[in-house]
């Protein structure tokens, strides 16, 4: 099993459990997210937390050792679309969703975290929308969510610089809700959230959801997915992925 779903103190926690491959997303992890969403929609929980095993990585994005087999736009689109549906459903869950970044996040890992309401980023973590270095854009809706999350210039810079940011930079540009220096910081975050009734958290979340419905968040995500699938099919992307996979083999 590549994931765990646990409930404790009305917090439902999803843990990606593939540390050896830096918690990259494959079909099994996607199925786990689908199970999480179903459970979260049906349960009386206060929050959902998304995290991962180990201290090195929260998530390294799509599992390139599997997804490099997708060559054409028609092959890439269903994978991108499926994960974009997962992230849209996570974004629009009725309760606050917290990404607890136990380590670094790149590519789709940043998209998952950006779909969440809050990002608690471990101090040593480095995070970046590095998709540009693979000659594609974000393709799971994360670019669209980033423009919803940060001021326009900060979002555009993060996407087009396509580099990893330190936790201090992520706090400065507003992507990190909080940098976690010690375990107590996480405890304090939840203690502060718990001062407010769950009904109030849910009510504010529904205000955000109304805004997203009105400004056609779903339609904009779909356009992002389509464009990424188009770029995915180009040689520049396949060459960049080959180069990443070969680098691993040669070291
Ligand atoms: C598909 C959707 C698309 C999107 O919409 O956003 C994407 O997500 S594109 C994918 C973007 N991800 C990447 O390009 C992966 C980049 N990975 C890294 O930069 C680094 O691995 C890391 C995440 C910064 C971690 O670095 P480090 O701790 O030094 O670990 P290694 O690099 O040595 O990795 C260990 C091991 O894991 C393999 N690995 C890592 N990430 C992936 C991945 N996304 N897919 C497949 N394999 C991955 C890496 O190859 C190493 O393997 P071995 O050498 O066999 O141990």
Q: What's the predicted TM-score (pTM) here?
A: 0.98
Q: Once rounded to an integer, what is the mean pLDDT over residues 84-100?
A: 98
Per the domain annotation, does 136 fall within a domain? yes
Q: Tell me, in angstroms, the distance from the centre of ligand 1 to residue 244's CA.
A: 8
* Atom 37 of ligand 1: nearest residue by CA position: 21
What's the whole-number average pLDDT of the chain?
Answer: 97
Atom nearest to 56 CA in ligand 1: 28
Q: CATH number of the domain at 27, please.
A: 3.90.226.10
Give the residue numbers spanning the domain of 59.
3-182
Number of domains into which the chain is organized: 1
Pocket test for ligand 1, best of 61, 131, 165 (most atoms within 8 A of CB): 61
Tell me what ipTM this predicted complex has: 0.97
- The predicted pLDDT at position 250 comes to 57
Over residues 169-221, the pLDDT tens digits come to 999 999 999 999 999 999 999 999 999 999 999 999 999 999 999 999 999 99
Q: How far apart are CA 245 and CA 138, in angstroms?
A: 19
Per the domain annotation, does 133 fall within a domain? yes
Helices (H), the chain: 27-42, 64-67, 73-91, 108-115, 142-149, 152-161, 167-173, 183-193, 198-214, 217-232, 235-250
Q: Is the distance from the beta carbon of residue 128 to the nearest atom of ligand 1 less than 6 Å?
A: no
DSSP one-letter string for 15-57: EE--GGGTT-B-HHHHHHHHHHHHHHHHS--SEEEEEESSSSE
């Amino acid at each position: 099993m590549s994931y765990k779903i646990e409930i404790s103190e009305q917090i439902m926690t999803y843990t990606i459990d593939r540390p050896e491959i830096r918690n990259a997303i494959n079909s099994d992890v996607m199925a786990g997210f689908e199970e999480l969403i179903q459970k979260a929609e049906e349960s009386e929980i206060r929050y959902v937390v998304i995290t991962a095993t180990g201290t090195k990585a929260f998530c390294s994005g799509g599992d390139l050792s599997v997804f490099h087999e997708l060559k054409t736009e028609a092959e890439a689109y269903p994978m991108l679309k499926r994960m974009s549906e997962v992230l849209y459903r996570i974004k629009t869950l009725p309760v606050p969703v917290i990404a607890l970044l136990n380590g670094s996040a790149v590519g789709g890992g940043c998209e998952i975290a950006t779909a969440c309401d809050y990002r608690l980023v471990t101090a040593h973590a480095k995070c970046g929308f590095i998709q540009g270095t693979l000659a594609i854009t974000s393709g799971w809706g994360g670019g669209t969510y980033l423009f919803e999350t940060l001021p326009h210039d900060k979002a555009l810079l993060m996407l087009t610089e396509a580099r990893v940011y330190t936790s201090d930079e992520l706090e400065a540009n507003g992507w990190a809700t909080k940098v976690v220096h010690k375990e107590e910081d996480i405890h304090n975050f939840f203690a502060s959230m718990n001062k407010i009734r769950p009904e109030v958290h849910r009510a504010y979340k529904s205000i955000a959801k109304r805004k997203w419905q009105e400004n056609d968040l779903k339609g904009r995500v779909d356009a992002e997915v389509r464009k990424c699938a188009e770029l995915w099919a180009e040689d520049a992307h396949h060459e960049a992925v080959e180069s990443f996979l070969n680098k691993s083999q040669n070291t």
